[in-house]
Chain A
Amino acid sequence: MKILIIEDETELLITTANYLTKEGFTCELAKSFAAADEKVSIYQYDIILLDITLPDGNGLDLMKAIKQNNLQAGVIIISAKNSLDDKISGLDLGADDYMTKPFQLSELNSRIRAVLRRRKFDGSNIVEFNEIGINTHSREVTVNDVIINLTKREYELLLYFIINKNRVLTKEAIAEHLWNDNIDLADNFDFIYTHLNNLRKKIRKAKGSDYFKTLYGMGYKFTDQT
């Protein structure tokens, strides 16, 4: 899977690239509009992360070149501006998703996977982790090939954990993922306990292992490693 990261801030670029490389992607980097424009017209990518504010141009203008030469690429716009107008015009131009800075890597990963699943129809709509399988198309979850019934939130929670497996996730990050941008929830993140406990019970009932590890009461990790 090839990803092109277009971002003018070196530090951000490198951290993101390192993380995505660890996640198994091949990353190429572009620090300017010109460099990005060149890469987009020569090479093919599966995902393009596009920062709108570049020193030598507006990232939205790159959308045209991307749609001409990289039609199969999923585009996720990353912007410092939480501007509805930019979001709408970005999505209108054919972007698949829109994220605002600052974002978390686990969230970025989830969004990339979601775009990939949506774009490819050749069976990649199955997310698997040991005995757990998720069909993201039919939204069915199986444990040991037995379908279990999950609520919408439990389903999203499980998918988020599997995609970000072996990764420490804070309660806040999980809550935000489930909650989108409901600002100002303050210390009310504990409600995910309930969802998580129900999810664990349902998996255990289907004789699945409990992969959820609680870290000092502040975060979770979904892993089969000890």
Chain B
Amino acid sequence: MKFLNKINRQYFWTLSISLMVVSLVGYFVLRMILKDEIKEDILEKEYAIVKEIKSDGNLPNIYPIIETKKVTKNKIEAKSYKEIYISDESENELEPYLEYTNTVKINNQYYLIKLRHSLLENDALIVAIALPLLLLLILTFTILFILTKKWNKTLWKDFEKNLQTIESFSFKNIQDLSLKQTHIEEFDRLNKTIINLTDKLSKDYTILKQFTENASHELQTPLSIILLNLEELLQQDLPEQAFKQVVASINAVKRLSSLNQSLLLLTKIENNQFNDRNELIINKIVENKMQEFTPLLEKQQLKIELNTSESLVLKLNEKLAGILINNLFSNAVKHNIPNGTIEITITENELKICNTGKENTLTNDTVFNRFTKENSQSYGLGLAIVKQICDNHHLKIYYTKENEKHCFTINKNFIYFKKGY
């Protein structure tokens, strides 16, 4: 719920409740005052009646308002007020009255006086109180609603703008976060806190990024020294055992270096350091790779089938596109069986590479994990890189097993739900 809606709703409830309380209190207070007025009125009437009885002995009787009669001493009633209901002849319904009863003694004769006053005005009273208050409620709320809506455009404008800036902010951009001053203390305090926070995070992010890169680069120099020395060692006339040990060491160093480079590449892709993207025709890249891999295919006697009825065009970084296809090919060759096949299908939306291979326990969830490997010769990074490239370019990649073949499909018509940063 929007902040303003919430505020408006609360305004509404607070106002409604307080107005209800006010009108209830008002109702009772007014009723009390009115009753007092009525009593006063009654007493005045009594006085006038007593005066009339005294002067000419006339007993005025107007039902139901005035009732007077002579009574004997034993029928004296004490002075009292009570509310009674009397049926109204004209409208045939019960109506409330305040009844005053008193006995007065005039010239040694007791007179019972009953005076009644209608309380019917009460209903009108409620209406008279509630209606203006209801009008007040509606009026206040309408004005408030219009005003807050209007203020929203001015007061919240800068806040809204800053919110948009923050939403679109990414650490990958070089630019620092800059927020507009709102001249509202709370908002400016929030801005300051956010800027401090992002500055710190931004610094940490850069340091981490640099550390990963520098660490990887620094590793290459000692690796170079090891490699060069081993290579020189190999040039001496070594006995078979030593020769094999040196070659094994050289290969291990190379693996280490290549592993290091793969990790570095993965980090770079994760950091979005390959930003220039072009529309690339995947068919061409696949055809080129097929040629490059021909000797490997021949050696394992793999049959390759390419079905391209349509062209697949993807917006990719060129270098990453090469790596992507290369890694998929490497994977299809490496995990194949002798006399196996590789099937490549390219449609307008999809690239699918299927290869024969041994049974495995891998699933779509595990196959792309780093260091998931089937044999000790691979690093288990190739497919992790493939996945990372696809993720970065908002492409969907998934692994399936079809007719005992292992298939990787890249689909471009996939709505990628961006994680909230």
Contacts and interface: CB of A to CB of B under 8 A. Distances in A.
Interface of A: 9, 11-12, 15-16, 18-19, 53, 80-82, 84, 100-106, 153, 167-168, 170, 172, 179, 182-188, 190-191, 194-195, 215-216, 218-219
B36 interface: no
Query: Which residue of B247, B251, B382 has the most chain A CB atoms within 10 A of its CB atom?
Result: B247
Given A15-B225, A170-B247, A219-B247, A188 B299 contact: yes
Contacts of B235: 167-168
Contacts of B223: 101-102
Interface in B257-298: 257-258, 261-262, 264-265, 292, 295-296, 298
Interface stretch (B123-131, B326-334, B364-372): B326-334
A81 B121 CA distance: 96
Contacts of A185: 296, 330
A167 B250 CA distance: 15
B403 interface: no
14 contacts: A12-B221, A80-B218, A100-B220, A104-B227, A105-B232, A170-B247, A182-B326, A183-B258, A183-B330, A185-B330, A188-B296, A190-B299, A195-B295, A219-B247
Given A170-B234, A195-B295, A186 B378 contact: yes
B247 A218 contact: yes
Contacts of B254: 102, 172
Interface in B213-271: 217-218, 220-221, 223-229, 231-232, 234-235, 240, 243-244, 247, 250-251, 253-254, 257-258, 261-262, 264-265
B379 interface: yes
B2 interface: no
Interface in B307-351: 319, 326-327, 330, 333-334
Nearest to B331: A184
Given A168-B234, A170-B250, A16 B299 contact: no
A190 B220 CA distance: 27
Interface centre among A102, A179, A182 (most CB of B within 10 A): A102
Contacts of B228: 12, 15-16, 19, 102, 104-105
Contact of B244 (A105, A187, A194, A216): A216
A22 B263 CA distance: 36
Contacts of B234: 168, 170, 219
Contact of A182 (B262, B265, B292): B292
B231 A106 contact: yes
Contacts of A16: 228
Contact of B224 (A84, A101, A168): A101
